[in-house]
Structure 1
Amino acid sequence: MIKRWNPEGVAPPIGRYSHLARVPAGHEYLIISGQVGTSPNGELAGPDAESQTRAALTNIENLLKAAGAELKHLVKLFAMLSSTDRLAGYRKALQEALTRWYPNEDWPTHSLIVVAALATPELAVEVEATAAIPAH
């Protein structure tokens, strides 16, 4: 079982994430490339960060399933936004997903950066993920 926690001696997280995650021996890592806000047919979910974040997180859910993993196996999310103007939309969609994914608030670790641009100008957000799956 992946252990996630926030130890004393460090300020509490400023969002819905854990400071630490420990993966026990006997797990295989699953690395998910940056997911953007597109539907399975490749169309952009919308022009805003909120709709693109929802789609990117759905893509991560689907990739986990395809690899035989579950949301409980997520260790880290790493998000890149193309502007600080996109923060509110990203945070709203992320909060919705984390509330649904982790009702007990056992959130994975998370980092967020704002970059000058993503791969194409219409992209608002890109989210990478790391998971750890018990080895067979």
Structure 2
Amino acid sequence: MIRRWNPVDLAPPIGQYSHLAAVPADHELVFISGQVGVLEDGALSGPDAESQTRQALTNIERLLESMDAGPEQLVKLLTLVSGTEHLEGYRAAREDVFASWYPGGDWPAHSLAVVAALAAPELTVEIEGIAAVPRR
């Protein structure tokens, strides 16, 4: 089982993440490339950060399912948001999805960066991850 925690002698996280996460020896680390808000057919899920965040997280969930894993196996996420104007939509979608994925608040380690742009001008959010999947 992945262990996530926040040391008591450090300020608590300022968002939905844990300061530390540790992977048991019987797990394999899997690196998930940055996912954007594109549907299965390659079309953009919508022009806004909220719809793109929901789709990017759905894509991550599907990738995990392809390995018989789930969001509980996520150890670390890195989110890139293309401009502060997209933070509100990103946070709304993340909070909603995380409430479903982590009802007890046992969130993975997570970093958020606001960047000038992503790979295409219509993209507002990109999320990459590291998962710990039990060895088979």
**Quick check: TM above 0.5?**
yes
Runs of 4+ in 1 over 3 A off after TM superposition: none
- 2:79 counterpart residue number: 79
Q: How many residues align?
A: 136
Report how far residue 111 of structure 1 moved: 0.3
In the alignment, is residue 107 of structure 1 matched against residue 110 of structure 2? no
- 1:17 counterpart residue number: 17
Instruction: Give me the whole-angstrom Cα distance separating, in 2, the residues matched to 1:70 and 1:51.
Output: 21
- 1:122 counterpart residue number: 122
- 1:98 counterpart residue number: 98
Alignment of 1:2-41 (within 5 A): 2-41=2-41
- TM-score normalized by structure 2? 0.98
Report how far residue 9 of structure 1 moved: 1.3
**Aligned-partner SS, 1:29:** strand
- 2:66 counterpart residue number: 66
Of 66-75 and 114-123, more deviation after overlay is shown by: 66-75
AA partner of residue 48 (structure 1)? D
Instruction: Give me the whole-angstrom Cα distance separating, in 2, the residues matched to 1:127 and 1:110.
Output: 10
Instruction: Give me the whole-angstrom Cα distance separating, in 1, the residues matched to 2:4 and 2:129.
Output: 15
- 1:55 counterpart residue number: 55
- 2:89 counterpart residue number: 89
Report how far residue 45 of structure 1 moved: 0.7
Instruction: Give me the whole-angstrom Cα distance separating, in 2, the residues matched to 1:72 and 1:36.
Output: 20
Report how far residue 71 of structure 1 moved: 1.4
1:14-43 CA-partner distances (Å, limit 9, x unpaired): 111100001111110111100000110111
The alignment yields a C-alpha RMSD, in angstroms, of 0.7
- Identity of matched residues, %: 60
**Aligned-partner SS, 1:33:** strand
Report how far residue 75 of structure 1 moved: 0.3
> Where in structure 2 are there 5+ consecutive unaligned residues?
none
Instruction: Give me the whole-angstrom Cα distance separating, in 1, the residues matched to 2:96 and 2:65.
Output: 20
Report how far residue 124 of structure 1 moved: 0.2
> Where in structure 1 are there 5+ consecutive unaligned residues?
none
